[in-house]
Amino acid sequence: MRRQLLPRDLGFELHRGDELSLFKWFLASFLFGNRISQSIAAETWRVIVETHGCDTPRKLCALSHRELVRMLGDGGYRRYDESTAERLSLLCRTLIAQYDGRILGIAEAADDRADFERRLLAFKGVGPVTLGIFMREAGPALFDHE
């Protein structure tokens, strides 16, 4: 069984209260949670975040659908690029509309970890796999008792 990639494998660390690192990990988790190889998902994350500097929901929402599809393709994410671009754009728009574009906004609105997880699962394109990947690393940065 291969080792799962961690935030440090992508060049950053998760820290309590650090919105930027939480969103970067959420974006990575979203890509890793799809049916695509881990290496292609990681390369696609690097293209989006490092090459193009799109490391916030607002920056991603500023992209046209075509620009986002091109970035996904540049990372090797070609098979599901159109549908992934649509889901990613919708996810960012929803995050902005409901939680001021902040993962910490979800945590602030949630009653507890279970409620936080329910709220994440309510985002179109976020399923149990994405949730599990995200919470494996972000849980301790979001919830004191972990």
DSSP output for 42-84 = HHHHHIIIIIT---SHHHHHTS-HHHHHHHHHHTT--TTHHHH
Tell me what percent of the residues of the chain surpass a pLDDT of 70: 96
pLDDT at position 145 over 60: no
Confidence of residue 94 (pLDDT cuts 50, 70, 90): very high
pLDDT at position 71 over 90: yes
| CB-side neighbour CA atoms (13 Å) of 121 | 12
Q: Where are the domains of the chain?
A: 16-140
pLDDT at position 146 over 70: no
Q: Which residues of 27-45 are buried (b: 16+ CB within 10 A; e: fewer)?
A: bbbbbbbbebeeebbbbbb
> Which CATH superfamily, name and number, covers 16-140?
Hypothetical protein; domain 2 (1.10.340.30)
> How confident is the model over 1-54, as pLDDT tens digits?
556 888 999 999 999 999 999 999 999 999 999 888 899 999 999 999 999 999
For residue 76, what pLDDT is reported?
A: 92
Tell me what percent of the residues of the chain surpass a pLDDT of 90: 82
For residue 86, what pLDDT is reported?
A: 95
For residue 2, what pLDDT is reported?
A: 58
User: What mean pLDDT value characterizes the chain?
Assistant: 92
